[in-house]
Structure 1
Amino acid sequence: MTNSPDKPAVDQPTTGTVQTTGTRRVLTAFLNSPFAGMSPWILMALLTGPGRFEEAAASAFVLSLILVVGGHRRGSRIKLLEVFDVVYFGSMAALALFASAGVIEWLEKWGGEMTNIALVAFALGSILVRQPFTLQYARESTDEEVWDSPLFLRINYVITWAWVAGFGVAAVSGAVGDLVLDDSNNFWTGWIIQIGGTVFAIAFTEFYPDFATYRAAVREGWDTDEKPQSMLHLFDWVPIFVLAIGIAGLLTDELSTVTGIVVIVVGAVGIGAFRQLTSSFDARLAQAAPRASKTA
Structure 2
Amino acid sequence: MIIELSAVVFFALLSGYAFADPASPLRDYVGALTDAWPALTAWGSPVVRHPFTLGIARTVPPQQVWHHPRFRRVNVVITVVWAASFTVSAAAGAFLLRPARHGRAGRDQGPRVRRAGHVHDPLQRAEPGAGAAGRRRRDLTRPPSAARPG
TM-score by length of 2: 0.61
Residues 174 and 184, structure 1, Cα contact 8 Å, conserved in 2:
no
Q: Which residue of 2 aligns with 1:118?
A: 37
The Cα of 1:175 is off from its aligned counterpart by 2.5
Q: Which residue of 1 aligns with 2:64?
A: 145
The Cα of 1:142 is off from its aligned counterpart by 1.9
CA pair 187-94 structure 1, distance change in 2 beyond 3 A: farther
Q: Which residue of 1 aligns with 2:49?
A: 130
Query: Partners of 1:111 and 1:102 in 2: how far apart?
Result: 13
Query: Partners of 2:98 and 2:6 in 1: how far apart?
Result: 27
Query: Partners of 2:45 and 2:3 in 1: how far apart?
Result: 10
Query: Partners of 1:92 and 1:84 in 2: how far apart?
Result: 12
Residues 45 and 52, structure 2, Cα contact 8 Å, conserved in 1:
yes
1:162 equivalent in alignment to 2:81: yes
CA pair 128-89 structure 1, distance change in 2 beyond 3 A: same
Residues 65 and 71, structure 2, Cα contact 8 Å, conserved in 1:
yes
Residues 132 and 160, structure 1, Cα contact 8 Å, conserved in 2:
yes
TM-score by length of 1: 0.33
SS at 2:6's partner residue?
helix
Q: Which residue of 2 aligns with 1:192?
A: none
Q: Which has the higher relative contact order, 1 or 2, with Cα contacts under 8 A spaced 6 or more apart? A: 2
The Cα of 1:111 is off from its aligned counterpart by 1.5
Query: Partners of 2:45 and 2:59 in 1: how far apart?
Result: 18
The Cα of 1:141 is off from its aligned counterpart by 2.1
- Which structure has greater helix proportion? 1
SS at 2:15's partner residue?
helix
Query: Partners of 1:150 and 1:160 in 2: how far apart?
Result: 15
Residues 127 and 157, structure 1, Cα contact 8 Å, conserved in 2:
yes
CA pair 168-110 structure 1, distance change in 2 beyond 3 A: same
Q: Which residue of 2 aligns with 1:85?
A: 7
Aligned length: 107
- Which structure has greater strand proportion? 2
